[in-house]
Amino acid sequence: MKQQFLDLGKQPLANVFLDTQDEKEFTYNLKVGFDEETKLVSLMEYVDSGLMFNDTYTYSASMSETMKKHFKEVAGFIYSNLLGGTISEGHLRGYQFDRQAYKFDAPIDGYILEIGSNDGVFMKQFVSNDNLVVGVEPCGNFSDITNQLGYKTYERFWNKETSEIIKKENGRPKVVFAANCICHIPDLDETFSSVESILDKNGVFIFEDPSLLEMINRNSFDQIYDEHAHIFSVLSLNNILSRNNLTIIKVINSPVHGGSNIIIAKRTVDLNETDIDPSVKTNIDNEQIFGLDKFETFQRWSKKIEDNKTDLLILLNNLKKSGKKVISYGATSKSTTVFNYCGIDSRLIEFILDTTPAKQGKFSPGMHIPVIKYSPELMNDVSYVFLGAWNFVEEIKNKESNFVKNGGKFLTHVPKIMMV
């Protein structure tokens, strides 16, 4: 049974940008709860998937250089470690992706199935037309793009039926990969059992999603919104995967999205004792020491979130009173949560800059702040820039060194209100 610990108020869909400022929107109650049995943190009320993931979905992972580089590394790792391909060293730098930790017999021929292939940011690391990677993507605008590029993509949600169709038409994948997707799917038991039933013998399931531990450490409550049905701890995943006959064999902590976990799992039937890397126990132990298995931890977090709102509003109101121009950088889903929870509209943040064509010229969900096509001159008379995309702070600071040289300041609310 889920017990509520956080109420972020009435919210619109985080990624649905409006054509006009007075457009009517769908709203829902953004409340978060903790399940004592599985230790899973989830939304109290799930939003219908078809409302969020359809032909008008705007989040395009290729818009960020950080994400492109990350997926290049992950693809290199999968290709060389799990499929027995040869790849240059450069692709494997970055995280602790090491060959020794795996006991797979290389070379393995077979294909990678990607769940939630978005605009193809991962698939495009592989040569198209060689059937090395097959995608599943419910947003038709994106599945059309990757299909046209020669990557076979099923325009479907991931579920039992999709798994059966893909198995029949393509055989069993050696690797099932998903990035920032599994946490979007309400029914985890169906999701995991459908992976278990399609995976080839000795195949591997690799998925990455934001880490609950990092989220609390960073106080990045803005990572909670409609699409993120769950926020995963390794602890909760361990419980839910194991009841679906999958076993975690390694956990890689990655800096992506402010701190994510890359989970590597195998079918329990294929497991050898030696498959399990010490990182699994280390991560679970750390989470237990932190208290991710206790409701009180989440109650304390909820109080910190309320304080963050108070401090942010004080600062923005003071800047407004002293005549400073404040804008936001990155029309993110995260800022939808912050702006709507705190009631921040264009009175406090004049406009949002973004490089994504599908968001430009539109208005932000709920608070209807204009989203303007990024151009560096638009920052000339700006004093403060709120980092809607704080997860790309380094990339943004490098790009905007002139703004900083001219006395401009970047402002963030994570882990507390501060200038960076």
The smaller minimum CB distance to ligand TYD, of residues 213 and 379, is found at: 379
Q: To the nearest whole angstrom, how small is the minimum distance from the Cβ of residue 48 to ligand TYD? A: 19
Q: Decide if 289 contacts 349 (C-beta within 8 A).
A: no
Tokens of 286: 């750390």
Per CB under 6 A, which region of 43-51, 57-65, 149-157, 183-191 contacts ligand TYD?
Answer: 57-65
Around Cβ 402, how many Cβ atoms within 10 Å?
A: 11
* Among 40, 47, 63, 78, interactor with ligand TYD by CB under 6 A: 63
The smaller minimum CB distance to ligand TYD, of residues 214 and 354, is found at: 354
Taking the C-alpha atoms of residue 213 and residue 228, their distance in angstroms, rounded to an integer, is: 15
Q: Does residue 330 bind ligand TYD (CB under 6 A)?
A: yes
Q: Does residue 174 bind ligand TYD (CB under 6 A)?
A: no
- # of chain residues touching ligand TYD (CB under 6 A): 19
Q: Does residue 382 bind ligand TYD (CB under 6 A)?
A: no
The smaller minimum CB distance to ligand TYD, of residues 283 and 356, is found at: 356
Q: Does residue 191 bind ligand TYD (CB under 6 A)?
A: no
Taking the C-alpha atoms of residue 259 and residue 250, their distance in angstroms, rounded to an integer, is: 16
Q: Does residue 80 bind ligand TYD (CB under 6 A)?
A: no
Q: Decide if 53 contacts 139 (C-beta within 8 A).
A: yes
Closest-by-Cβ residue to ligand TYD is 330
The smaller minimum CB distance to ligand TYD, of residues 346 and 355, is found at: 355
Q: Does residue 413 bind ligand TYD (CB under 6 A)?
A: no
- Bin 271: left if φ > 0, else alpha if -120 < ψ < 50, else beta: beta
Q: Does residue 396 bind ligand TYD (CB under 6 A)?
A: yes
Q: Does residue 210 bind ligand TYD (CB under 6 A)?
A: no
**Residue 278 burial (C-beta neighbours within 10 Å; 0-12, 13-18, 19+):** exposed
Q: Does residue 412 bind ligand TYD (CB under 6 A)?
A: no
Q: To the nearest whole angstrom, how small is the minimum distance from the Cβ of residue 1 to ligand TYD? A: 30
Q: To the nearest whole angstrom, how small is the minimum distance from the Cβ of residue 44 to ligand TYD? A: 21
Q: To the nearest whole angstrom, how small is the minimum distance from the Cβ of residue 336 to ligand TYD? A: 8
The smaller minimum CB distance to ligand TYD, of residues 280 and 331, is found at: 331
Q: For tokens 């009517």, what's the residue?
A: 24
Instruction: Compute the radius of gyration of the chain from its Cα atoms.
Output: 21
**Residue 274 burial (C-beta neighbours within 10 Å; 0-12, 13-18, 19+):** exposed
Around Cβ 175, how many Cβ atoms within 10 Å?
A: 25
Q: To the nearest whole angstrom, how small is the minimum distance from the Cβ of residue 171 to ligand TYD? A: 33
Residues 6+ away with beta carbon under 8 Å from 371: 17, 331, 351, 352, 353, 354, 359, 360, 361, 362, 363, 364
Q: To the nearest whole angstrom, how small is the minimum distance from the Cβ of residue 315 to ligand TYD? A: 21
Q: Does residue 391 bind ligand TYD (CB under 6 A)?
A: yes
The smaller minimum CB distance to ligand TYD, of residues 345 and 400, is found at: 400
Q: Does residue 135 bind ligand TYD (CB under 6 A)?
A: no
* Among 11, 38, 64, 81, interactor with ligand TYD by CB under 6 A: 64
Strand order in the sheet with 418-419: 371-373, 352-354, 326-329, 384-387, 409-412, 418-419
**What residues pair up with 267 in beta bridges, in sequence order?**
246
**Binding to ligand TYD, residues 340-379 (CB under 6 A):** 354-356, 359, 374
The smaller minimum CB distance to ligand TYD, of residues 39 and 359, is found at: 359
What's the farthest any 2 CA atoms get from each other in the chain? Answer: 65
Per CB under 6 A, which region of 160-168, 240-248, 283-291, 332-340 contacts ligand TYD?
Answer: 332-340
Q: What are phi and psi of 117, to 5 degrees?
A: -80, -5
Q: Does residue 414 bind ligand TYD (CB under 6 A)?
A: no
**What residues pair up with 2 in beta bridges, in sequence order?**
35
Taking the C-alpha atoms of residue 256 and residue 208, their distance in angstroms, rounded to an integer, is: 9
Q: Does residue 392 bind ligand TYD (CB under 6 A)?
A: yes
Per CB under 6 A, which region of 59-67, 164-172, 301-309, 376-384 contacts ligand TYD?
Answer: 59-67
Tokens of 385: 């820039």
Residues 6+ away with beta carbon under 8 Å from 232: 40, 41, 182, 183, 209, 210, 211, 212, 261
Q: To the nearest whole angstrom, how small is the minimum distance from the Cβ of residue 340 to ligand TYD? A: 13
Q: What is the binding site for ligand TYD (CB under 6 A)?
A: 59, 63-64, 330-334, 354-356, 359, 374, 389, 391-392, 395-396, 399
